Amino acid sequence: MHDARVLIDLGDEAVRLLARRGYRLDLSALEALQSRRNSGIQAGDELRARSKQVAQEVQRTAKQGGDVTELKETARALKEQVQQNEAELEQVQQELTDLLLTIPNLPDDEAPDGFSDEDARELRRVGEPQHFDFTPKDHVDLGETMGIMDFGRATKLSGSRFSVLRGAGAALERAIVALLLDVHTRRHGYVEHAVPYLVNRRTMTGTGQLPKFEEDLFRTGVADRDLFLIPTAEVPLTNLYADEIVPPAELPLALTAHTPCFRSEAGSYGRDTRGLIRLHQFSKVEMVRICAAEQAREQMLLMVSHAETCLQELELAYRVVMLAAGDTGFSSRLTYDLEVWLPSQDTYREISSVSDFGTFQGRRAGIRTRDEKGKPTPAATVNGSGLPLGRTIAAVLEQHQQADGSVLLPKALRPYLGFARIAADGTPVEE
């Protein structure tokens, strides 16, 4: 969330930056609310000071034996005015907060102009896309022919956009999770967490999912409890430190978790409905880093390298792009996407987004540290996928498929699996 004073001080510059991401900032409305808030605070201070003064006059006059009837009436009137001022100030503060919660983060000027993935700036390509001497199958055809995927029974259980993995397919998912967590914890220094999959409204607001994206969330509850299924482990991991002051010596914090993720994908009907690319429930290993504001960009680039390591371990061809300002997520000021090559689609598809949020989430969630003078100040947050299991499995199957319908698995996975190949009939094969 923004500091209203910062946006007002930026003025037309804030309007310009937000327009790059398609948001029209009503600066006059923001200024009016901030002015009403400031006036209310000043009026309240004056009323409380006057109320205290009259109370003292009542005590002094009473001790002297004087008539305090009129003074007491004044005191009662002032008390009512104080209460009225507090109620009005609370309403104005809520209106200001509600407005600020809907304003996206200011995009970094480094992000290119544009509003779609076609406007992204390619930064590099790693690995050569495979050139098969046969027509490559997509992961759905491969998985169902092998018998390691069953989308029909998943639909019977839950409806469309769910999946069932079986046999070598389930083992493959488990092995990829283990590899990713080992890479992040043993090589990159992340601390693994097991976190709740249901969180409250305050937690969802802290990372920016609420109030804007409520239609994309699965909501549940028992009795008077209002809970949401997490769309990503970013939500609980980041909010572990909500309303806390993290000592500078402990920064940066590096957190990771493997969780299921739940997304309604509202507005995306008709897109990527086949296979593992866009599901209502999927599994993901997430990375989160919390740091001082001046460390955010450095930490983001470090996290990009960590996500790249995962793709390289899985021997996957990919590219890295910088998203356009208008295509950057609500809470992010700059995002790098890692896109993996999918032979069946003859294109690169997003498999990891790594975002620098600056202090945007820190302000919303109340995550703070201390500056060089010891004063509490909002901390910065960075997060990224490392990696989502569905898309990773799709890429592994498609990029490593063989002419006979089998899949030769990446060397890094074989110790976790106990086999090197999945035969065309889904049988694990040791080599």
381 annotated to a ligand binding site: no
406 annotated to a ligand binding site: no
Residue that has been written with the tokens 């009129």 in this structure: 70
264 annotated to a ligand binding site: yes
Q: Is-catalytic flag, 350? A: yes
383 annotated to a ligand binding site: yes
Calculate the alpha carbon distances from 25 to 6, 20, 99, 222 in Å.
Answer: 13, 11, 10, 38
Catalytic residue among 144, 298, 315, 350: 350
Please list, residue by residue across 245-266, b when 16 or more beta carbons sit within 10 angstroms of its beta carbon and e when fewer do. Answer: ebeeeebbbbbbbbbebbbbee
95 annotated to a ligand binding site: no
352 annotated to a ligand binding site: yes
Question: Among 430, 421, 391, which Cα is nearest to 138's?
Answer: 391
Q: Is-catalytic flag, 353? A: yes
331 annotated to a ligand binding site: no
- What gap in Å lies between CA 53 and CA 372, rounded to an integer? 40
422 annotated to a ligand binding site: no
Q: Is-catalytic flag, 349? A: no
Catalytic residue among 50, 278, 349, 370: 278
- What gap in Å lies between CA 298 and CA 290, rounded to an integer? 12
Residues 6 or more apart whose Cβ sits within 8 Å of residue 212? 101, 102, 330
379 annotated to a ligand binding site: no
Catalytic residue among 20, 21, 161, 263: 263
265 annotated to a ligand binding site: yes
Catalytic residue among 283, 344, 353, 355: 353
41 annotated to a ligand binding site: no
Catalytic residue among 161, 319, 391, 421: 391
From the annotation, which residues make up the binding site for ATP?
A: 263-265, 350-353
From the annotation, which residues make up the binding site for L-serine?
A: 232-234, 263, 286, 383, 385
Active site residues: 263, 278, 350, 353, 391
